[in-house]
Structure 1
């Protein structure tokens, strides 16, 4: 029978050294797709272990999370162009229409963030600009999380 005492060392081993960076990248990527999940626990665990520099952790988590968000963007591009079809609208799409690319700064938010990226692709927003704004939003999120964890914020 599995116990908490036997699981914790196994989970901790995932975050040690280079494998921890891969776990952080993958959890960041998957949590930014339409799949359920969150990367905050993996990010905090990696910071707590202290095996890697804080900047490296922020970069790896940001890249994984941004690529996951852009996967949603490309999935949205695969959908038929329905930019004029209001009956299939979603709150994220209306937010993007109202606030433009700046709404993608909030692609890290739970519930609305994933659909924001999907809607950006569906609305055929520019890929490069969308990538840049999503990247900034995700980087700010992990930087703020690190600052809170370190007691700076």
Structure 2
């Protein structure tokens, strides 16, 4: 059991790994979450920090889509025009509710980026991605504790 109190540094590491995992960067926040669960850090606090970080990472993608789409012809831009157009058609079909699946690897990054391109209101982005991402972390925690196996 973790006896020295919850380390703020550990929460910061979890926050930034969750934030990075929601962007186009290759991070895995679940490993950090499980490591801190193994140290008996408060479960609800870990869930909240991971969900917040991952939701804010989705905001980074939304901002890229909303305000930087004019740069998509640049070679370094994360999505090519044809990829965006194909995904945009799919997004138009399913709409903002697809943001509930923003926790999915690779696809989730594209969803939150497209939400910016499609000018999904910021409030909807926050609410729907937080629900999906929070649920995903709840499942990781439940699996860790053997509730789901």
TM-score after normalising by structure 2: 0.83
- List 4+ stretches of structure 1 deviating above 6 A: none
User: Retained in 2: the 8 A contact 1:95–1:103?
Assistant: no
Structure 2 CA distance, aligned partners of 1:59 and 1:74? Answer: 23
Distance 2:29 2:43 in 1: 15
Please state how far the C-alpha of 1:37 moved relative to its aligned partner: 1.6
CA distance in structure 1 between the aligned counterparts of 2:17 and 2:89, rounded to whole angstroms: 29
The offset of 1:73, in angstroms, is: 0.4
Question: Taking structure 1 as reference, are residues 122 and 145 closer, same or farther at Cα in structure 2, changes over 3 Å only?
Answer: same
Aligned to 2:43: 54
SS of the equivalent of 2:146 reads coil
Query: Out of 27, 38, 49, which is 1:37 matched to?
Result: 27
TM value normalised by structure 1: 0.81
Corresponding pairs, count: 132
1:28 and 2:18 aligned: yes
Deviates further, 54-63 or 122-131? 122-131
Contact residue 18 and residue 27 of structure 2 kept, 8 A: no
How far 1:63 sits from its partner (Å)? 0.2
1:89 lines up with 2:85 in the alignment: yes
> Which residue of 2 is the match for residue 141 of structure 1?
136
Unpaired segments ≥5 residues, structure 2: 1-5, 71-80
Task: State the partner residue of 1:73.
Answer: 62
CA-CA distance at 1:31 after TM superposition: 0.8
Q: CA RMSD in A?
A: 1.7
- Distance in 1 (alpha carbons) for counterparts of 2:51 and 2:13: 13
SS in 1 for 2:25: coil
Unaligned runs of 5+ in 1: 1-15, 81-85
